[in-house]
Chains A and B, each alone.
Chain A
Amino acid sequence: MRWIWIDKITEFESGRRAKAIKNVSLAEDHLHDHFAGNPVMPNSLIVEGLAQTGGVLVGEYGGFAAGVVLAKLPRAEFYFPAVPGDTLHYTAEVEYIKNDGAMVNGTSYIGGRLQAEMEIIFAQIHDHGAATSLLKPESLAYTMKLLGVFDVDRIVDGRFVLADS
């Protein structure tokens, strides 16, 4: 299994904002244990999905020179559970990007209703050290390709479109 908790990036504006979707499916093993007879997408994985959406934003802005690591979650609120069949619409908006860290505000919507919102802080690791293999920029670029991030673009009036739509 790959540790990818978003299915597709649908909008991307460098240094400002990224949107992604995550479809929740009963084909995901963990939902059979969380919880038996009552499948609910774990909130921690919603945090991870939003952190991945924001992490791509932060990593791309810095030209993938630094490793981007989820460092802190100052605030996270969940308003109702995500269940199989739901599509979560994630938005990560940059609050700031600095040399040693970055913060994004994340929201999750299901069917137009705010499902969760949070602040996420990333550390930017310039000397990868022991974590080098985990933080290889090429790995992130490969994942981004899988997620279709290079297939989205911004049109002249500022709206975003899928490149093939």
Chain B
Amino acid sequence: MPTKDEIADKIKNSLMDALGVDDDEVVPEATLSGDLGAESIDFLDIVFRLEKAFDIKIPRGELFPENLLTDANFVADGKFTDSGMNELRERMPFADLEEFAENPEVSKFGDLFTVQMISNYIESKVDVED
């Protein structure tokens, strides 16, 4: 059973391999796109490396939800609607949505995807040693 530190190390290695970033860039608050430069295909790569590192299956769209931004029920005038925020809470319980909910602009959506968010997700998928 891995400890939180071991999980953090594996996530760090996965992100370093997938994104070609340095050890000291992969800090919990780093955003995948903004700080670490991840682009669309990188998310596929990250998912694969996490699956391999932790020997888990990550269903498509579970860690990085799809089709949210194109649904008019969820997004209007460049912001998530109440129904959109409920959907986010439902689908991304591992993301820190509190601050985002205060001003849920679509343009800030990418900032939810942080190293910490991946840690939260992985810790919800594997047994963690206290």
Contact = CB atoms under 8 A, between A and B. Distances in A.
A74 B44 contact: no
Interface in B54-103: 60
Contacts of B42: 72
A101 interface: yes
Given A99-B60, A123-B41, A74 B18 contact: yes
Given A101-B41, A123-B41, A74 B17 contact: yes
B45 A74 contact: yes
Give chain A's interface secondary structure class.
Answer: strand
A124 to B, nearest CB: 10
Contacts of A123: 41
Contacts of A103: 45, 48
A125 to B, nearest CB: 12
Interface string A86-99: 00000000011011
B17 A72 contact: no
Interface string A40-65: 00000000000000000000000000
B45 A72 contact: yes
Contacts of A121: 41, 44-45
A99 B42 CA distance: 15
B44 A100 contact: yes
B44 A101 contact: yes
Contacts of B17: 74-75
A99 B60 CA distance: 10
A72 B42 CA distance: 8
A72 B41 contact: yes
B2 interface: no
Interface in A53-85: 71-72, 74-75
A103 B42 CA distance: 12
Interface in A5-53: none
Contacts of A71: 41
Nearest to B20: A74
Contacts of B45: 72, 74, 103, 121
A100 B64 CA distance: 14
B17 to A, nearest CB: 6
Which 7 pairs of residues, A with B, have the shortest CB-CB distance? A71-B41, A101-B44, A72-B41, A96-B48, A121-B45, A123-B41, A121-B41
Interface of B: 17-18, 20, 41-42, 44-45, 48, 60
18 contacts: A71-B41, A72-B41, A74-B17, A74-B18, A74-B45, A75-B17, A96-B48, A98-B44, A98-B48, A98-B60, A99-B60, A100-B44, A100-B60, A101-B44, A103-B48, A121-B41, A121-B45, A123-B41
